[in-house]
A and B are shown apart, each in its own frame.
Chain A
């Protein structure tokens, strides 16, 4: 039976190479021309604890982590017990026969991967034995696996050849065990050729590279899951003339350091997660008030407090829109895929420069470490906007009134003309403190009016005249899109709206929202945050919420959206 889409999950304990296995399979499949997306869940500890890592392989771009599992590799009894409910019909489990056994007669077979690996002379090839079993189950082209192994282990070291031979042998041993079992879950359809070069990259790396492509040259950060890998990425890459990267002592230091750098003329950024973002509140308020360009990426975990550091939730939307006291509504870009992480990183830097103020990128655990193969971005097409600056002879003042009909006046840069004080107190034209009503009024209006400059983010509108519109945000875009496609295939009259920019919304999206009778927002939080904000702006929105720490399953959304539109659908 030809299938175009498989989910393979490796479950066990942290430290057992689960991510490595899923990643290896993903790379081999991407190498063969398939589209892949990985997804991992693990406890917040260095080693041990229940963990799993999966890859979805498809002949078409992968939008979500899927509904269920086609092949489960369960390395211990606990893993089997906790993942067997996710198995699709016809799925097969490969269990670790060195650890436990399952009663006769089920859709599973045991494998002694460690023992078989040792017989190849390379005890570290156990995950290759397992991968061999998996590829046999989905009838994946073995030549592609061999080619992948050759590339991965050709590192110019003396032992390379032996390691390659042992790993290829390990794959064969796994294949034999699976063959002997007699099970299969179908045949992987051949890949559909696609144009253009691809990169395989995670959300956090894509976001970082995007920011750098737009000219980022100052980064200060503090380790926190799931944003740490952005700090690590920057420490590896943000070097060279005029660039600075540093791990500071807290998120309070991070936000204030990028404030100072942004004021001094740099394109500055930090990345954090909920707890760190809370610490940045006061600094973000200053950036808004004193009009200092900077970017903060909040890679959401579950909350509140320490919450769920390594789980998926979309519960920081309120706090990103309104992080600080006083009248503030931050520009927020919420990418919904790894590819969108790249462009959001670039656009956030450009927005900050364009409107002279802070910009929030709202990413998620579900995007941060997930690997995806995407079309290789063309760096020549990434614009690098730089703030307008004050030049000698300019008569304008830093905080002049601005009615929006002329370009936003330039910002003085230290060392140049136009010295002023960037002031967190309400101020006059040159930044001296004044609490006179007319200054508060004119600058309040200036600060909000500048938001009109922010456009250019990706958005999607389809069947906008349908009575019911589905409008997800962030990573829920993928599963919602699959659900939408399935509902359309069934002939349901539903529409689709999606915007990476949650604030300010593109004009076309606002127009479509205005016309919609019912907007359904699938989102991973309890309060229904995005629909609440949409209702606040007068749109007829309601949420479908989930707060398990896991992403939506498309089949669940088909059912739940079906209920809202009065049709009974079984996934």
Chain B
């Protein structure tokens, strides 16, 4: 919305990975809108707190609705939107600090419910907006302002975590190829159930991992990122677990499981639940005389 508000002063640092993710999200939202013949106002973007959450204000063109709420609480807010209004396409944008640290408690319940939400997570391995503290995905031993003598925790493995709690669509990508990333986000939005697109989105100010991810091919240095082999079967949990045991950052769809979303299950309950009018409920309390 930046063009409509000249007073708005937030932007990302030059080269920030979030620019690429924004491009991908816009393309995906437009494509989803065309595919489903719905205006973008039928999408709600629920944003976390941090650099990546500001995405919700920076989407250009046709505008979705947005909520820029509370640190760590994108999932329960999105849950309320989706179960209140199942017709809305509900998308989360959040960072590794928001989603995996303060908000980590909500991932398991969202997976168990298989609530039909797509989370686009921008992982830069650092708290950027508060200026460079360590996050759950920061490397062991890393020196940051909040770990001046080295980080004492091992980094968490987000993709393995998602697998272990039962997320039914897991993709991993990086911010450098927005067009390909857009296709994955669109596919995730079409997945019936809880989908996470976990994106490596480097912070050029505090944790510039571009070279680490992509390597330096001219100098013969291999990057961490690797394309998922074409013969990988994302519908196989075992194949996904094996893939995640490989070192490095896979690019593509790691796991996909078709099944009933929470909304599907809820419709089943609705069909059998007793439906009494308010008057019938009130009458059940009437004193028998």
Contacts and interface: CB of A to CB of B under 8 A. Distances in A.
B266 to A, nearest CB: 7
B286 A260 contact: no
Contact of A260 (B39, B77, B87, B288): B77
| Most B C-beta atoms less than 10 A away, residue of A200, A249, A260 | A260
A201 B285 contact: yes
A434 B1 CA distance: 13
Contacts of B279: 379
Interface string A25-49: 0010011000000000000000000
B276 interface: yes
Q: How large is the interface on B (under 10, 10 to 19, 20 to 34, 35 or more residues)?
A: 35 or more
Interface string A242-274: 001010111011111111111111101000000
Contacts of B281: 209, 212, 237
B64 A246 contact: no
Contacts of A415: 39, 41-42, 85, 87-88
Contacts of B132: none
B36 interface: no
A417 B67 CA distance: 16
Chain A interface mostly: mixed
A434 B10 CA distance: 9
A195 to B, nearest CB: 13
A197 B286 contact: yes
B286 A249 contact: no
Nearest to B77: A260
Given A31-B287, A209-B281, A259 B57 contact: no
A260 B8 contact: no
B8 A433 contact: yes
A165 interface: no
Interface stretch (A113-121, A128-136, A424-432, A493-501): A424-432
A213 B5 contact: no
B69 interface: yes
Contacts of B231: none
Given A248-B109, A256-B73, A200 B285 contact: yes
Nearest to A417: B41
A422 B88 contact: no
A257 B80 contact: yes
A156 to B, nearest CB: 15
A256 B77 contact: yes
Interface in A358-391: 373, 376-377, 379
B81 interface: yes
Contact of B5 (A218, A260, A432): A432
B274 interface: yes
A282 interface: yes
Contacts of A557: none
A376 B79 CA distance: 36
A240 interface: yes
A236 B276 CA distance: 10
| Most A C-beta atoms less than 10 A away, residue of B39, B40, B41, B279 | B41
Contacts of A261: 80-81, 83-85
Nearest to A266: B84
B266 A244 contact: yes
Given A260-B78, A424-B70, A249 B275 contact: no
Contacts of B84: 218, 244, 260-261, 264-266, 268
B270 interface: yes
A424 B74 CA distance: 13
Contact of A199 (B4, B87, B282): B282
A259 B77 contact: yes
Contacts of B105: 249-250, 252
Interface residues of A, number: 68
A377 B44 CA distance: 39
B76 interface: yes
B69 A290 contact: yes
Given A200-B287, A434-B5, A283 B70 contact: yes
Contact of A263 (B81, B269, B274, B278): B81
A432 B3 CA distance: 11
B88 to A, nearest CB: 5
B46 A31 contact: no
A425 B278 CA distance: 39
Contacts of B70: 256, 282-283, 286, 424
Contacts of A241: 270
A425 B286 CA distance: 49
B215 interface: no
B286 A424 contact: no
A142 B131 CA distance: 78
A177 interface: no
A491 interface: no
A244 B46 CA distance: 20
A441 B166 CA distance: 46
Contacts of B278: 209, 212-213, 379
B287 A419 contact: no
B66 A422 contact: yes
Contact of B270 (A213, A240, A268, A422): A240
Contacts of A27: 287
A264 B109 contact: no
B65 interface: yes
Given A199-B286, A414-B44, A415-B42, A239 B270 contact: yes
A342 B56 CA distance: 40
Nearest to B87: A415
B41 A419 contact: yes
A436 to B, nearest CB: 6
B219 interface: no
Given A200-B285, A415-B41, A420 B87 contact: no
Nearest to B38: A415
Given A261-B84, A261-B85, A282-B73, 18 more contacts: A30-B287, A205-B285, A239-B269, A239-B273, A244-B266, A248-B79, A252-B76, A256-B69, A256-B77, A260-B79, A260-B84, A264-B88, A376-B282, A414-B81, A415-B85, A432-B2, A433-B68, A434-B5
10 contacts: A246-B83, A259-B67, A259-B80, A283-B73, A415-B39, A415-B41, A415-B87, A428-B7, A433-B10, A434-B9
6 cross-chain pairs, A with B, having the tightest CB-CB distances, nearest first: A260-B80, A261-B84, A256-B76, A421-B66, A257-B80, A199-B285
Interface of A: 27, 30-31, 151, 197-201, 205, 209, 212-213, 218, 220, 236-237, 239-241, 244, 246, 248-250, 252-266, 268, 282-283, 286, 290, 373, 376-377, 379, 412, 414-417, 419-425, 428, 430-434, 436
Interface of B: 1-2, 4-5, 7-10, 39-42, 44, 46-47, 54, 56-57, 63-70, 73, 76-85, 87-88, 105-106, 108-109, 266, 269-270, 273-276, 278-279, 281-282, 285-289
